[in-house]
Structure 1
Amino acid sequence: MVVVMKRYALKLFISLKYITANVVDRNNGNIVATASTVEHALKSTFECGRSCNAKAATIVGEVLARRLKVEGLEDGQGRGIHIDMNKEVGKKGLKNHTKVWAVVNALKDNGVKIILEDRGDNI
């Protein structure tokens, strides 16, 4: 029997004005990498105005991917970064579905190993 440790998890916070993506170490609860539209360096690269869109979410995902690579965690130390899409989309509401997928796809496109927990698929 193979036991898969789900050590690293992607957690998202999406409001009308901000998008924040954190990778959390489930062993100790610490955030190991983060990216957010709140950051001055990111905020100046796009105009959110009254709301952040999927383009802003993509940039957050790209920056998070780079930070994971710097930390040597782009593959979750061989196990991948886990995300429960049903939970993330459910708590964000259906209208934020594209923003959630924009972050996930940006991570994947930048070499981060993503494991979707709701289906158990590796992408």
Structure 2
Amino acid sequence: MTAIAPSDLESPGVCILLTGDDEVAALNDQFRHKAGPTNVLSFPAPPNPEGLIGDIALAYGVCAREAAEQGKMLEQHLSHLVVHGVLHLLGYDHEEDGEAEAMEALERSILETLGVPDPYAAERV
């Protein structure tokens, strides 16, 4: 899938679900065949007249634990994960090093416009 630049979309719509870890674990098992919860899942939407690009599910417990462990504000961590999920919906991925670097750079750029500090800063120290 070719990635779409966020600026190429007029007004994309996304549905976001912030729910419990058990619910995200069930989604992770059902759609990815992986056990346990993960922080964020993205589900692309088929073409639709509403302009929705997909759904994002966030596991509150996982996100809260990660934020605490990483010394981040929960709101900023959730913002990062929503941006991360939207980029997946637009076709970005991080399976290979080059893809990961490009996706992370775009995440940092978007988050900067939202006043959210670089979520990867601690990893580069």
TM over 0.5: no
Higher helix share: 2
Structure whose CA Rg is larger: 2
Higher strand share: 1
TM-score (norm 1): 0.29
TM-score (norm 2): 0.29
